Amino acid sequence: MSAVLEQTIDIDASNAVLDSYEPRSIVNWAAKEFRNGLVMSSSFGAESALLLHMATEALPGIKVVMVDTGYLFPETFRFMEELRLRFDLNVWVYRTQQDPIAYLKETGETDPTYRNDITRCCAANKNEPFERAMRQLKPAAWLRGIRRNQADTRQSKQIVEWSERYGCYAVSPLLNWTKRDIHNYMKQHDLPYHPLYEQGYASIGCNPLSCTRPIQIGEDPRAGRWAGSGKVECGLHLEGGAGI
């Protein structure tokens, strides 16, 4: 199936056109191109309402893949339910196969508020469920909310890419947008931020302090993720795996 899909789209030509499109137009393009073969992922994080709003307008009923690592904030689940009701979301929750408490004991993580081996935890509890979701759903394409200005690892990303890892296209409508663009759209459409956003959590993942903390004045928005570890990606958006 992958080989057939790769022949249906000229990626270079598509990117040459789509790079000048606004995100909503990119989402609309993806919805028309891939129809029910299009899925999206959502962490139900700080600004997740934005892409959910665009995607559900373009393709009502789109499958939304959410990974429950076993260590998410309670506020994240409440936010997911709020958005599920507002947008009539078709959420597919994929959970870790690990018992969250047993995992800590088996891996020698004695402090539940801290991870000694962050990469191992992400691989087992976040990457594996998402990889399982993609194997089972077999999408033609996947909408994701990454932006170039979020991390150095995202600078070279293209709006449409072929993912060998997942066997589908990866479409990133927000890639060229800035923090101001995000804010303006959220305000224009009266979209809610994650409940922890007002407490200084600019990027929200799992609840150990080693994984998510509030940022300080002047810090990069993603400075609160895996602070001090050198890790900048959970690994979902890297072809090679969990990454650093």
Categorize the per-residue pLDDT at 242 as very low, low, confident or very high, splitting at 50, 70 and 90. Answer: very low
pLDDT in tens, 202-223: 999 999 999 999 988 877 777 8
Query: Does the pTM of the predicted model rise above 0.95?
Result: no
Categorize the per-residue pLDDT at 238 as very low, low, confident or very high, splitting at 50, 70 and 90. Answer: low
Mean pLDDT of the chain: 90
pLDDT value for 4: 41
pLDDT at 233 over 80: no
3-class secondary structure for the chain? CHHHHHHHCCHHHHHHHHCCCCHHHHHHHHHHHHHHHEEEECCCCCCHHHHHHHHHHHCCCCEEEEEECCCECHHHHHHHHHHHHHHCCEEEEEECCCCHHHHHHHCCCCCCCCCCCHHHHHHHHHHHHHHHHHHHHCCCEEECCCCHHHCHHHCCCCCEEEECCCCEEEECCCCCCCHHHHHHHHHHCCCCCCCCHHHCCCCCCECCCCCECCCCCCCCCCCCECCCCCCCCCCCCCCCCCCC
pLDDT in tens, 84-127: 999 999 999 999 999 999 999 999 999 999 999 999 999 999 99
pLDDT value for 243: 41
How far is residue 10 from each of residues 14, 22, 206, measured CA to CA in Å?
A: 6, 20, 37
Dihedral (CA of 204, 54, 96, 78) sign: positive
Q: Strand 168-171 relative to strand 160-163: parallel, antiparallel, unpaired?
A: antiparallel
Tell me the domain boundaries of the chain.
Answer: 2-199
Q: Who wins on pLDDT, 237 or 66? A: 66
> What's the fold here for domain 2-199?
Rossmann fold (3.40.50)
Categorize the per-residue pLDDT at 2 as very low, low, confident or very high, splitting at 50, 70 and 90. Answer: very low
The catalytic residue among 121, 206, 211, 234 is: 234
Categorize the per-residue pLDDT at 232 as very low, low, confident or very high, splitting at 50, 70 and 90. Answer: low
Please check whether residue 180 is in contact with residue 148, taking contact to mean a CB–CB distance below 8 angstroms. Answer: no
pLDDT in tens, 26-73: 999 999 999 999 999 999 999 999 999 999 999 999 999 999 999 999
pLDDT value for 148: 85
CA dist 235 and 239 (Å) reads: 8
pLDDT in tens, 141-188: 999 999 887 666 667 789 999 999 999 999 999 999 999 999 999 999
Q: Is 211 known to be catalytic?
A: no
pLDDT value for 3: 39
